[in-house]
Amino acid sequence: MNPDQTVQSGDLSLAVYTWGTPAPGKPNVVLVHGYPDAASVWEKTAQILSDRYHVIAYDVRGAGRSDVPDHTKAFELEHLVEDLAQVVDAMSPDQPVHLVCHDWGSIQSWEAVTTERMAGRIASYTSISGPSIDHAAYWIMNRLRSGSPQEMSTVARQLSHSWYIGAFQLPLFGPAIWKLGMDKLWPKLLSKVEGIEADANPTQTKDGSIGVNLYRANFVQRLLKPNERRTDLPVQVIVAKRDRFVLPEVLDDLPQWVPNLWQREIDAGHWVQISHPEQVAAMAGEFIDFVETGEETVALRRARRRGPRKPMTGKLVVVTGAGGGIGRETLLAFAEQGASVVAVDIDIEAAERSAELARLLDVEAWWRQVDVGAVEQMEALAAWVATELGAPDIVVNNAGIGLSGRVLDTSVADWDRLLKVNLWSVILGSKLFAQQMIDAGKQGHIVNVASAAAFSPSKALPAYATTKAAVHMLSDCLRAELADHRINVVSVCPGFINTGITTSSRFVGVSDEKQEQLRAKAKQLYSRRNLKPQAVAEAILDAVKKNKPEALVGAEAHAFRFLSRFVPSLSRRLARLDMI
């Protein structure tokens, strides 16, 4: 890739590349690369962005076709900021630019957006995999001062991920590894470790060996004596979830420095602009358009950081049967963890109330009235989510109804309704939303709420147990199918949970009077056990966080599964007993 022109910064000449045509009112976007790259690392992303913007990139000093300074101090951040300022002034003299930066490009651009040198010249900043050194230093100090073993463990993990920073301080280490063959191995290393195909860079030896000076000139002094760096600019941080060099936790304190902050995720490794150029371009473009027009999309509203990062910040969770019981508690559990939520229920008032309660936790929340047993309504729900909110990160197929009574007393209509709500809705919810996750390249979770009845045959609950056993098996099969897409499927099997299902369940084959008596007995039994819906919600949250394949809730759930596996004859004998 040959430069379109050069820009002078002091006594150095910087190679500049452009895509698209400049025009009045057309946003100018400047891309800044990291280490050990040159501007060519942005080529795929730049081509996509150039359909709508005038795109500019340059080789930072010492990299690509740009000149090489003759001493290490020339790589200090203030000189890198001056280079950026010269490029912006030359290429966009009449309007501020939107910065999109990666790795060291982000590190140096944090300096640019928090200093006076470029005041008024930057409209927005999108940072990928490169925190401010000063912010990182304060983050480390705050965690070490806390004395918390967990916090200190997180710091240790980040330092282990950043081992190369210390190694680069050694006089010969960095340049030597590049000159002894790392330049030739680099494309193969990216392919093996990152899973990406990158073209050989003709200036790779220079980029790697000279670029080490970026670390030598800045890291030690900034980590030991950090400055408070604040900016009121709109800042978007894109987190690569499989980044081998930067942990997401490093961004935990960012809102104290950046009040106008948005944080989003891509399920990718460190070099996202190579592996996922379409997603990077889409996120950058969406943010740029918001800054230019003031029209914030739903996806950006979900990504807005208003305070400390929570575990589920930026996630979208869809919960069926969210009007009460397990569904509502699960919805609120995820909302409390920072997720945006969609409450789905056939009861419109209950769904709306659940969404209202979630909003009290300072998250985005929506409600939808849906009969999950109706195929066309489930398809409409999925289409609405995809169009208005984007693919969800977590789907909890929780909606279900109860039915008690013997097989010979259960009508075809009863079977039809039970299968549609308890099984077909789970099949549809899993199928429709899993496809959205795959299409969006998301590492997601499908949570299917079965029951301890899935392990326990019973003459009192044959139809209900059949549907829940099918949900459990469906989950096991689907987990295997979706594993390659990094989508985990959780089968949740609660025991005797004290919810409204005890009073809404139907008892077939009995008179109305007898039915009310049986409902009263069931309610009494479940109330005496008093295992609350919150316990299931906590188990679901824990399973999602820890990527568990299943969650059993209640001692009876564990007991029923044990019997079904190891003493099936006893399980079959117990099935003959009347539970109520």
| Beta carbons of 68 and 13 less than 8 angstroms apart | no
**28-32/97-102 β-pairing:** parallel
Residue 90: exposed, middle, or buried by beta-carbon count in 10 A (0-12, 13-18, 19+)? middle
- Give the catalytic positions in this structure: 464
Instruction: Tokens for 30, please give them.
Output: 């400047």
CB atoms within 10 A of CB 293: 8
Taking CA atoms, 548 is separated from 487, 543, 551, in Å, by 12, 5, 7
Distance CA 101, CA 195 (A): 21
| Beta carbons of 129 and 270 less than 8 angstroms apart | yes
> Residue 458: which residues within 8 A CB-CB, separation 6 or more?
465, 575, 579
| Beta carbons of 246 and 129 less than 8 angstroms apart | yes
Element (H, E) at 320: strand 316-320
| Beta carbons of 89 and 76 less than 8 angstroms apart | no
Element (H, E) at 55: strand 54-58
Q: What is the dihedral of CA 406, 411, 416, 421, to 10 degrees?
A: -50
Q: At what angle do helices 104-113 and 133-146 cross, to 10 degrees?
A: 90
Instruction: Tokens for 504, please give them.
Output: 């809404």
- What is the separation of C-alpha 549 from the centre of its chain, rounded to a whole number of angstroms? 19
Cis, peptide link before residue 36, omega less than 30° from 0: yes
Query: Tokens 């549907």 — which residue?
Result: 467
Residue 44 one-letter amino acid: K
With b for 16 or more beta-carbon neighbours within 10 A and e for fewer, the 402-428 pattern comes to bbbbeeeebeeeeeebbbbbbbbbbbb
Taking Cα atoms as reference points, which of 52, 71, 48, 61 lies closest to residue 16? 61
Distance CA 314, CA 399 (A): 24
User: Please, which residues bridge with residue 58 across strands?
Assistant: 16, 32
